[in-house]
Amino acid sequence: MRLLFDPPPQLKEELADATYIVPFDLDPDGNPAEGILAVQQGTVKTYVNHKLIHSVPIDKLADVKIHLGIGCAELASVGDDDKEPYLLARFTQTHTERMAELGRAIRIYNNTGVYIESDDQNERICFTCGHRIIRGTSICPYCTKKTSVISRFAQIARPYIGRFVLVTSLLLLASMAGILIPVFNKSLVDNHLVPQKGPVGTALMWVALILLCHLVATFVSMYANRKSVWVGNALSNDLRTLAYSRVQALSVNSMSKRTPGDLMNRITSDTSVIQGFISHVGQTVLLQIVSIVVVTTIMLFTNWKLTLWAYLPVPLTVVVIRWFWRTIHLKFSRQWRWGSRANSILYDIIRGIRVVKSFGNEKIEIEKFQGVSKKLADVSEENEKLWATLSPLLAFVIGCGEFLVLYFGGQDVLHLYDVGRGGMTVGELIQFMSFLGYIYGPLHTLSRFPQQLANFFTSSAKLFEILDEEQDVPDKDVVEDVEIQGRITFEDVHFGYNSYEPVIKGISFEIQPGEMVGIVGPSGVGKSTLINLIMRFYDVTSGQLLIDGHDIRNISQRSLRENIGVVFQETFLFAGTIYDNIAYAKPGAEPEEIFAATKIANAHEFIIKLPDGYNTRIGENGFTMSGGERQRLAIARAVLRNPSILILDEATASLDTETEHLIQEALERLIKGRTTFAIAHRLSTLRHADRLICIDKGKIAEMGSHDELMEKQGVYYRLVMAQRQTSKMADADIEAIVAGK
Ligand code: ADP
């Protein structure tokens, strides 16, 4: 969130080097005022109407928090023994969120000595125009650069431009043929059906021409529509693939900042909106505009007065439709929000159904869902009622237009027949009536066009945000594809997921090829973070991480990941057969290699006992595997991959003794000859590691073999003792159960 705004001109010089400048709007008595809260050189300063009213050193402020009042709120520090309470600013609700962020920044500074960065992420309001920013993005739908969006689409759509022009020209031809039908009809009626009877030959010619126009309009548009479907789908396929491949390339860091739903929306919904706009809306609007111009010109030449009558209901219709869309747009976004809330409740509950059932909370969950579902139904009902009102209303307005044309046109026709000149022929009136459809029909589409255009630009901006996202762990221009032996060196590595929250604080060690190292320590100290660094999901903040003496940033990510195998506590299996799931580690592996891998992983036995053996389907409607079985498949995958570095993250946690034994045996075979980096919750499983590195508070607390560390009686010793105590208690419980107490 932005915490550094431009100071008012009166304070420009005084606050030139401020770290944060946040405006607010009330004085301490609650009267409207122009306030500024600034953090400058370790001091928090409050200005009201450009005058400094308080100044306090930042470290004197304890636990700065927002206190909500009625109609206003204040940012203040809570008093404690040696730090005075302090009112920093009073403001209306609009400033609450930003002030809360400033309070957080002050707290973080006092705890860590680091100022968090002021940026425009997670902003709700656009600074340029004041409109709401699209949730989860930094995009303002009103400020997206339209020209750059169009030029980028021109690039993406380049392979299809030839076909696109062809389709549009054909559709234009078809609609011109359609427009000619009333023109020929007029000649037919005027020359052959009303009193002046012309020769039969010409009548037949008009009939043939009308038929020809019908045929052209029908078949050309049939062909063009089929082509258009092809272009649209090819384009949307390109867009989806582009977005999907970009999402695959996103770093773990970028992925963890977004929800799966958001990414899925961008790949599916946003690309459909774009495709729909390019291949249907844009084309239809173009055709309709051309048709309106042509038809209106013919009408004006035929009878300009009647044309004005025909256009009389148009402004009213446009006003009605625009009002309708403005209203429905707001209502639709409400419907969409309730719909998405209902979906996320469903998603959560279906995923966590075991927890719901185990707490017996089904009724509460049903009530919660019922509440949201009822809201959704109410909002949908309102919207549909509005729809249901609009169509007859529009039909009425258009009916009025037709009536006007028929009435005044009819009078003209009668005048012509009465007086013999100065009026309109029957054929012309029929032609007029047919053309009305060309004017009134597109009103609906055209008045929706601004909304659709806005949606198109919003979806495009969301898509381009993903396509343009900078890689935060990029491969350098020149990277090495190295054959990795497995020496891992940490040299004074520092790292934090956030700049103000270091997790790894200066770690140095070296693991030799083939060595098995266990990483131990209390939870939350940064063990998994070390794995994230070795996998290069994140880059170190300072220091160096070397693999075989090469800085990890100089090795191509492809060759790095090819040489690392992982077995996590949770094994993710894709829907598909067991065979495919194992082969995922090495696409194109020979069946013999797969069987050999499953044998090493102690998985072959249980797989062949399944009715479909290796062809058993996993996942939806398929076979559900136990934790131990999944883990053995993960080991088989790792064996098949044959990596020089192996990472085991809590690989044997939460398993029964027998399964654990099978897995332990498989792991022992797997780790032979590979550099192994293992984290285990149960310390006994790491007893045979060549070396144990004990991490505490982001630093290495101690390092050595199990025996050495036990002798030292330090952090590791205490962890082991604590675990023994827990397992003794568990054993005592078991004994008590066995003894029937
Ligand atoms: P351990 O594996 O030792 O239990 P972790 O390495 O998972 O600990 O986490 C170390 C610290 O980093 C924890 O305080 C955790 O909250 C934090 N952390 C872990 N992953 C992230 C992340 N993606 N973003 C921000 N903080 C994280």
- Tens-place pLDDT, residues 163-221: 888 988 998 898 899 889 888 888 888 777 766 666 777 778 888 888 998 898 889 88
Residue 31 resides in a domain: yes
Atom of ligand 1 nearest to the CA of 253: 23
Read out DSSP for 12-64? TTTTTT-SEEEEEEE-TTS-EEEEEEEEETTEEEEEETTEEEEEEEGGG--SE
CA of 524 to the centre of ligand 1 (A): 6
Do 93 and 166 sit in the same domain of this protein? no
Atom of ligand 1 nearest to the CA of 521: 3
Distance in angstroms (rounded) separating the CA atoms of residues 645 and 654: 24
Do 172 and 254 sit in the same domain of this protein? yes
Q: Which stretches of 131-199 are DSSP H helices?
A: 146-156, 161-188
Choose one of 407, 442, 467: the last residue of a domain: 467
Atom of ligand 1 nearest to the CA of 256: 23
CA of 526 to the centre of ligand 1 (A): 6
Choose one of 467, 500, 515: the last residue of a domain: 467
CA of 120 to the centre of ligand 1 (A): 25
pLDDT for 39 equals 92
DSSP 120: S
Do 390 and 304 sit in the same domain of this protein? yes
Bridge partners of residue 577, in order along the sequence: 617
CA of 62 to the centre of ligand 1 (A): 26
Q: Rounded to 5 degrees, what are φ and ψ at 66?
A: -90, 135
Instruction: Report the number of distinct structural domains present in the chain.
Output: 2
DSSP 132: B
The label of the residue with tokens 């630009």 reads 457
Distance in angstroms (rounded) separating the CA atoms of residues 687 and 716: 12
Protein residue closest via CA to atom 15 of ligand 1: 524
Do 299 and 419 sit in the same domain of this protein? yes
Of 393, 179, 448, 403, nearest to 312 by C-alpha is: 403
pLDDT for 542 equals 86
The label of the residue with tokens 């009408």 reads 299
Residue 45 resides in a domain: yes
Element (H, E) at 688: none
The amino acid that residue 375 corresponds to is: K
CA of 651 to the centre of ligand 1 (A): 18
Atom of ligand 1 nearest to the CA of 531: 6
Protein residue closest via CA to atom 21 of ligand 1: 497
Residue 451 resides in a domain: yes
Ligand 1 first shell, C-beta below 6 A: 256, 497, 503, 523-529
Residue 517 resides in a domain: no
Residue 124 resides in a domain: no
Domain of 411, CATH number, reads 1.20.1560.10
Q: Are 663 and 678 in contact (CB under 8 A)?
A: no
Choose one of 53, 86, 112: the last residue of a domain: 112
pLDDT for 490 equals 93
Mutate which of 255, 472, 528, 649 for ligand 1? The one with the most ligand atoms within 8 Å of its CB, which is: 528
pLDDT for 693 equals 92
Do 209 and 84 sit in the same domain of this protein? no
CA of 161 to the centre of ligand 1 (A): 49
pLDDT for 294 equals 92
Atom of ligand 1 nearest to the CA of 529: 6
Burial-class residue 565 by CB neighbours within 10 Å (0-12, 13-18, 19+): buried
Residue 571 resides in a domain: no
Protein residue closest via CA to atom 1 of ligand 1: 524
Do 108 and 152 sit in the same domain of this protein? no
Read out DSSP for 554-598? GB-HHHHHHTEEEE-SSPP--SEEHHHHHHTTSTT--HHHHHHHH
Q: Show the low-confidence residues of the chain (pLDDT under 70).
A: 79-83, 121-122, 129-144, 194-198, 329, 417-422, 499-500, 620-623, 651-656, 727-741
Rounded to the nearest 10 degrees, what angle do helices 146-156 and 426-468 cross at?
Answer: 90
CA of 473 to the centre of ligand 1 (A): 18
What is the torsional sign of CA 129, 132, 138, 141? Answer: negative
Provide the pairing of β-strand 691-696 with 516-520.
parallel
Mutate which of 250, 494, 525 for ligand 1? The one with the most ligand atoms within 8 Å of its CB, which is: 525
Atom of ligand 1 nearest to the CA of 523: 4
Do 347 and 450 sit in the same domain of this protein? yes
Q: Rounded to 5 degrees, what are φ and ψ at 536?
A: 55, 45
Atom of ligand 1 nearest to the CA of 522: 3
Range of the domain at 357: 146-467
Which residues, including other chains, have CB under 8 Å from residue 52's CB and lie 6 or more apart? 45, 46
Do 27 and 172 sit in the same domain of this protein? no
Protein residue closest via CA to atom 24 of ligand 1: 497
Atom of ligand 1 nearest to the CA of 252: 23
Distance in angstroms (rounded) separating the CA atoms of residues 602 and 667: 9
Distance in angstroms (rounded) separating the CA atoms of residues 618 and 578: 7
pLDDT for 359 equals 87
Atom of ligand 1 nearest to the CA of 679: 2
What is the torsional sign of CA 596, 601, 602, 608? Answer: negative
CA of 14 to the centre of ligand 1 (A): 40
Do 303 and 359 sit in the same domain of this protein? yes
Q: Report residue 404 as tokens.
A: 């006007």
Distance in angstroms (rounded) separating the CA atoms of residues 390 and 394: 6
Q: Is 43 left (phi over 0), alpha (psi -120 to 50) or beta?
A: beta
Which residues, including other chains, have CB under 8 Å from residue 543's CB and lie 6 or more apart? 490, 491, 492, 493, 494, 506, 507, 508
Distance in angstroms (rounded) separating the CA atoms of residues 138 and 141: 10
Protein residue closest via CA to atom 26 of ligand 1: 497
CA of 443 to the centre of ligand 1 (A): 57
Do 301 and 364 sit in the same domain of this protein? yes
Residue 563 resides in a domain: no
Residue 672 resides in a domain: no
CA of 104 to the centre of ligand 1 (A): 20
Do 163 and 59 sit in the same domain of this protein? no
CA-CA-CA-CA torsion for 227, 231, 233, 234, nearest 10 degrees?
130
Do 362 and 463 sit in the same domain of this protein? yes
CA of 79 to the centre of ligand 1 (A): 32
Strands (E), 559-714: 564-567, 576-577, 617-618, 645-649, 675-679, 691-696, 699-704
